[in-house]
Chains A and B, each alone.
Chain A
Amino acid sequence: MVTLKELPIEELFASGHRLCAGCGEGIINRMTMKALRGPTIIVAATGCSEVATTIYPYTSWRLPWAHVAFENAAAVASGIVEAYRAMARRGAWSRHVDVIAMAGDGGTYDIGIQALSGALERGHDFLYICYDNEAYMNTGIQRSGATPHGADTTTSPAGSVIPGKPEWKKDLIGICAAHGIEYAATASPAYWNDYITKVRKGIEVNGPAVIDVLSPCPLGWRHDSARSIELVRLAVETRYYPVYEFERGKYKLNLNISKPKPVEEFLKLQGRFGHLFKPTYRKDVIDEIQQNVDANWNRILKLCAQN
């Protein structure tokens, strides 16, 4: 894994952006920039990172950065990758350029899944990073395919009959792995060296790679913005968000949590799960979530054991 000393001092993601205090995306952007190996172009989907880092005439990006639309970051990246290859064939381009697409979970799990699937199937050489904050935060906290069961969002509100989102989160890594790509991984920004190492790995892979990185959102998760990193560490320590990778057909657990904390410890710090604690303690729902966490952990262990 990468060490602090190996990271470049240079900041390609400038301060002064307008992301919220405690937002995971700013931290993730900065760490991503520390993992680059050379000339790189960033393709951004519509979302918080885009609206808060490139308010015309300002930009936080000291490298080429392009936002085109919400659902098509993977398709735009395809065009860029292939255009450089084609221009090289006619002798009009000689350098290698890395392309990284960055999109939120709405732009990845939901509206962008088709463009992502197409790009993975076609095998373009690019890295796709999903900032997974588990809901449409930019439009005001609506549920997405990445929103966890039981979470209170503005379109899966906790009501007197339905206690938050009834459905469970999609298995993005499984979907990506099923495309037969070389590399897919999850990461938590609390483990910076794991994340940066994975970004570098994803860039170095010859072909598409995908990273789903858990991105704390103080506004949407409704937690103390000073505790964002603590929270995404707790997500891992409770096995709520397993950190693992899929590389050349093999699964590997990167952070083994042998003595997990109860998922309740992760849930109770967040307003999106507040209705599970007050006014009535919803042990039934919390137990259900814990069972799902356990089942998912065992599923991943089994995948890893198949190696």
Chain B
Amino acid sequence: MTILGLTGDEAVAYAVKQGKVDIVAAYPITPQTIMVERFSKYVADGEVHTGYVCVESEHSALSACVGASLTGARVFTATASQGLALMHEMLYIASGLRCPIVMGVANRALSAPINIHGDHSDMMGSRDSGWVQIYAENAQESYDWTLMAFKIAEDESVQLPVSVNLDGFIISHCMEGVDVLEDSVVDEFLQSRKPLFTVDPEKPITVGALCFTDYYFEFKRQQVEAMLNVRGVLDKVCKEYRGIACRDYGVLETFGMEDAEAAVICLGSTAGTAREVARRLRAQGKKVGVVKLWLYRPFPTDEVRAALRHVKALAVFDRAISFGAPYGALCSDVVSALHTLEESPQIFNVVYGLGGRDIQPSDIELVFNEALETAKTGIVKEPTMFLGVRD
């Protein structure tokens, strides 16, 4: 076993290095930059064969990635916040052209006002772009998921881009002990990409043709199918990964849900804090639990329903605002997943941590207590709680 002291960004870069990626095209943006800084050092030191394309914008980063991916190459990029927003047009094209690109996203708030710290506004604004979205809780998960992401993206039945999300600064910049695999083990797990179609001059194809009313819809329907296929592929990949890394992954992770009456569901690093608070409350006899989603797109509806079926009250944590919507993005999805249950839990939304505002154990304890109260009374006092904001 090899334990390296790595930040989340460095852990991603290390996984990309072991993944024998052909092309990395990226543009610097805080808090992602360390990923590509570390990676460009691997290139400079001749540790990888990768072509590092130092593009002049994130739009060109993803454009170059799409071009590279069409040749059959394995491709990685990384971004955050404004950079992801600038890529927005290309996100849809990458998925529409079925390019299995992997992207590390160090999630960061969107301007204005400008802010460099972590929240999920960037990726939530891209949630319908046809990318598979995975959220890591810490540096270890960032490393593990980056390796698995290539395998999921490149699977014959998927052929879709995958984003591995890590909370800006909280994960991207915090150093942890990361258990890394041996190169030879990664080689065995992650073999060369086997593309279905490429722009090979020996077998010419036309990519990105104009599709009118007579074909466009069918292409989009195929993307829906590919997204559905992610589920089975992800399970298979996680199982294989368990065999080499002895770490368990899946679409979600639960804590205390076997008997919880009140629960929280969240993404990313907040899950670790929530679990610790839940552990303490459960020791006091309070029946609380935590559901952490690893997979956000495609949304694991069945597993979310199964995990939350028996709770009486549920707080859904959104680290982003969906202005004018009934709930934040995650909460809307959870409500959609649960609304056909015979007895859906009472649900309220917790919007928190915007612009990197810290979330303390005491904040989460407050939410658990509110959820327990809701479980007892059956009444939601406030559909959306803005946790930690000064009104």
Residues of chain A whose beta carbon lies under 8 Å from any beta carbon of chain B: 39-41, 43-44, 50-51, 54-57, 59, 61-69, 71-72, 74-80, 82-87, 89-90, 92, 95, 97, 114-115, 117-119, 121-122
Q: How far is the CA of A87 from the CA of B210 in the complex (A)?
A: 29
B67's contact among A55, A79, A95, A118, by CB below 8 Å, is which?
A79
Closest to B72 in A: A87
Let me know if B210 and A82 touch, CB within 8 A.
Answer: no
Inter-chain contacts of A56 with B (CB < 8 A): 209-212, 215
Kindly name the residue among B50, B51, B93, B97 whose own CB sees the greatest number of chain A CB atoms within 10 A. B51
Let me know if A69 and B206 touch, CB within 8 A.
Answer: no
Cross-chain pairs A/B with CB under 8 angstroms, 8 sampled: A54-B209, A56-B215, A64-B199, A75-B67, A79-B53, A79-B65, A115-B57, A122-B54
Asked if B344 CB lies within 8 Å of chain A CBs, one says no
Instruction: For the complex formed, measure the closest distance between the CB of B46 and the CB atoms of chain A, giving whole angstroms.
Output: 10
B71's contact among A69, A75, A83, by CB below 8 Å, is which?
A83
Identify which of residues 203-224 in chain B touch chain A, using a CB-to-CB cut-off of 8 Å. 204-212, 215
Let me know if A68 and B210 touch, CB within 8 A.
Answer: no
- The stretch that binds A, out of B20-28, B121-129, B237-245, B265-273, is B20-28
Q: How far is the CA of A180 from the CA of B65 in the complex (A)?
A: 25
Asked if B56 CB lies within 8 Å of chain A CBs, one says yes
Let me know if B22 and A68 touch, CB within 8 A.
Answer: no
Q: How far is the CA of A75 from the CA of B54 in the complex (A)?
A: 11
Instruction: For the complex formed, measure the closest distance between the CB of A276 and the CB atoms of chain B, giving whole angstroms.
Output: 36
Let me know if B64 and A79 touch, CB within 8 A.
Answer: yes
Kindly name the residue among B20, B205, B209, B212 whose own CB sees the greatest number of chain A CB atoms within 10 A. B209
Asked if B55 CB lies within 8 Å of chain A CBs, one says yes
Extra A-B contacts (20), CB below 8 Å, given A50-B208, A68-B63, A79-B25: A56-B212, A59-B206, A61-B204, A64-B200, A64-B205, A68-B97, A71-B59, A72-B63, A75-B59, A76-B63, A78-B25, A78-B64, A79-B53, A87-B71, A89-B49, A90-B49, A115-B56, A117-B56, A122-B53, A122-B54
Inter-chain contacts of A64 with B (CB < 8 A): 199-201, 204-207
Closest to A77 in B: B67
Q: A84-B71, A122-B54 are in contact. Are A69 and B210 (CB under 8 A)?
A: no
Let me know if A78 and B53 touch, CB within 8 A.
Answer: yes
Instruction: For the complex formed, measure the closest distance between the CB of B95 and the CB atoms of chain A, giving whole angstroms.
Output: 13
Let me know if B68 and A118 touch, CB within 8 A.
Answer: no
Let me know if B209 and A55 touch, CB within 8 A.
Answer: yes
Instruction: For the complex formed, measure the closest distance between the CB of B159 and the CB atoms of chain A, giving whole angstroms.
Output: 16
Asked if B332 CB lies within 8 Å of chain A CBs, one says no
Asked if B70 CB lies within 8 Å of chain A CBs, one says yes
A114's contact among B23, B56, B192, by CB below 8 Å, is which?
B56
User: How many chain B residues have a CB neighbour from A under 8 Å?
Assistant: 46
Closest to B90 in A: A69
Asked if B60 CB lies within 8 Å of chain A CBs, one says yes
B66's contact among A39, A41, A71, A76, by CB below 8 Å, is which?
A76
Q: What are the 7 tightest A-B residue pairs by CB atom distance, in nearest-first order?
A: A79-B67, A118-B56, A79-B64, A39-B201, A67-B208, A75-B60, A83-B68
Inter-chain contacts of A67 with B (CB < 8 A): 207-209
Let me know if B56 and A68 touch, CB within 8 A.
Answer: no
B60's contact among A85, A97, A114, by CB below 8 Å, is which?
A114
Let me know if A87 and B208 touch, CB within 8 A.
Answer: no
Instruction: For the complex formed, measure the closest distance between the CB of A147 and the CB atoms of chain B, giving whole angstroms.
Output: 24
Instruction: For the complex formed, measure the closest distance between the CB of B212 and the CB atoms of chain A, giving whole angstroms.
Output: 7
Q: How far is the CA of A82 from the CA of B76 in the complex (A)?
A: 13
Let me know if A72 and B60 touch, CB within 8 A.
Answer: yes
Instruction: For the complex formed, measure the closest distance between the CB of B292 and the CB atoms of chain A, giving whole angstroms.
Output: 35
Kindly name the residue among B66, B72, B208 whose own CB sees the greatest number of chain A CB atoms within 10 A. B208
Asked if B73 CB lies within 8 Å of chain A CBs, one says yes
B64's contact among A75, A95, A121, by CB below 8 Å, is which?
A75
Let me know if B210 and A63 touch, CB within 8 A.
Answer: no
B201's contact among A41, A82, A115, A119, by CB below 8 Å, is which?
A41
Q: How far is the CA of A55 from the CA of B212 in the complex (A)?
A: 8
A66's contact among B51, B56, B70, B90, by CB below 8 Å, is which?
B70
Q: How far is the CA of A57 from the CA of B366 in the complex (A)?
A: 58
Let me know if B209 and A75 touch, CB within 8 A.
Answer: no
Closest to A58 in B: B209
Instruction: For the complex formed, measure the closest distance between the CB of A40 and the CB atoms of chain B, giving whole angstroms.
Output: 7
Instruction: For the complex formed, measure the closest distance between the CB of B63 and the CB atoms of chain A, giving whole angstroms.
Output: 4
Kindly name the residue among A41, A64, A89, A95 whose own CB sees the greatest number of chain B CB atoms within 10 A. A64
Asked if B183 CB lies within 8 Å of chain A CBs, one says no
Q: How far is the CA of A82 from the CA of B75 in the complex (A)?
A: 11
Let me know if B60 and A78 touch, CB within 8 A.
Answer: yes
Asked if B89 CB lies within 8 Å of chain A CBs, one says yes
Let me know if A79 and B68 touch, CB within 8 A.
Answer: yes
Inter-chain contacts of A66 with B (CB < 8 A): 67, 70, 199, 206-208
A86's contact among B49, B54, B61, B215, by CB below 8 Å, is which?
B49
Inter-chain contacts of A65 with B (CB < 8 A): 199, 204-207
Q: How far is the CA of A63 from the CA of B308 in the complex (A)?
A: 53
Kindly name the residue among A78, A79, A80 whose own CB sees the greatest number of chain B CB atoms within 10 A. A79
Q: How far is the CA of A117 from the CA of B50 in the complex (A)?
A: 23
Q: How far is the CA of A59 from the CA of B208 in the complex (A)?
A: 11
Kindly name the residue among A41, A61, A72 whose own CB sees the greatest number of chain B CB atoms within 10 A. A72
Inter-chain contacts of B49 with A (CB < 8 A): 86, 89-90
Q: How far is the CA of A56 from the CA of B61 in the complex (A)?
A: 27
Q: A54-B210, A68-B93 are in contact. Are A80 and B59 (CB under 8 A)?
A: no
Kindly name the residue among B192, B200, B206 whose own CB sees the greatest number of chain A CB atoms within 10 A. B206
Q: How far is the CA of A84 from the CA of B200 in the complex (A)?
A: 10
B57's contact among A39, A82, A114, by CB below 8 Å, is which?
A114
Instruction: For the complex formed, measure the closest distance between the CB of A109 and the CB atoms of chain B, giving whole angstroms.
Output: 17
Q: How far is the CA of A269 from the CA of B90 in the complex (A)?
A: 41
Q: How far is the CA of A66 from the CA of B89 in the complex (A)?
A: 17
Instruction: For the complex formed, measure the closest distance between the CB of B218 and the CB atoms of chain A, giving whole angstroms.
Output: 10
Instruction: For the complex formed, measure the closest distance between the CB of A203 and the CB atoms of chain B, giving whole angstroms.
Output: 14
Inter-chain contacts of A68 with B (CB < 8 A): 63, 66-67, 90, 93, 97, 208
Instruction: For the complex formed, measure the closest distance between the CB of B385 and the CB atoms of chain A, giving whole angstroms.
Output: 41
Mark interface residues in B16-34 (1 if CB within 8 Å of A CB, else 0).
0000101101000000000
Q: How far is the CA of A68 from the CA of B284 in the complex (A)?
A: 58
A80's contact among B20, B70, B209, B211, by CB below 8 Å, is which?
B70
